[in-house]
Amino acid sequence: MQDTASPGKDRMQTTHYFWNYLPLLLQILAAVGMGTAMVTGSFFIGRHRRTISKLETYECGIVSEGDARGRFSVRFYMVAMLFILFDVEAVFLLPWAVIYRQLPAITGSRFFGFWEMVVYLGFVLVGFFYIVKKGVLDWAADRGDL
């Protein structure tokens, strides 16, 4: 028995495939056009008065003093690198913790995943003790730059 309720259901779509993306293209063009129109309109309509006070550097309501290219202590950069290091450590720990119970089936050994992580954390702790011994995290000691 043949279904006559929907005769065109078995045939392929006759319109070109890329015509399906026409609404998306029109939306992107409308968004870009509106943005361009707003920026251009504000350029022509707005008042542009270049006074001395408007051309000065503005930093959170405080008048700037000195050179903006002042020297920073190396400690700021060291702490930033240490943050990235220990953040990456957490990124490595999370997937290991998620599949910890499946590790014996994956590796074939019961404690391989555990000892693997102990070695990894050992390396991390050696690095941590090194930076503590070096005094990078000791902000109270004023020894200048490391």
More confident residue, 13 or 81: 81
pLDDT at position 140 is: 72
pLDDT at position 68 is: 66
pTM score > 0.75 for this model?
no
Q: What is the mean pLDDT of the chain?
A: 81
Query: Is residue 87 exposed (0-12), middle (13-18) or buried (19+ Cβ within 10 Å)?
Result: exposed
pLDDT at position 40 is: 95
pLDDT at position 56 is: 77
Confirm whether 123 is domain-assigned.
yes
Q: What is the pLDDT of residues 17-53, one digit of tens each?
A: 888 899 999 999 999 999 999 999 999 998 888 888 7
Total domains in the chain come to: 1
Confirm whether 124 is domain-assigned.
yes
Domain residues for the domain of 125 are 74-134
Q: Is 144 left (phi over 0), alpha (psi -120 to 50) or beta?
A: left
CA–CA gap between residue 134 and residue 143 (Å, rounded): 12
Query: Is residue 127 exposed (0-12), middle (13-18) or buried (19+ Cβ within 10 Å)?
Result: middle
Q: Is the model's pLDDT at 74 over the cut of 70? A: yes
Confirm whether 113 is domain-assigned.
yes
Q: What is the pLDDT of residues 99-128, one digit of tens each?
A: 888 988 988 888 888 899 999 999 989 988
Confirm whether 82 is domain-assigned.
yes
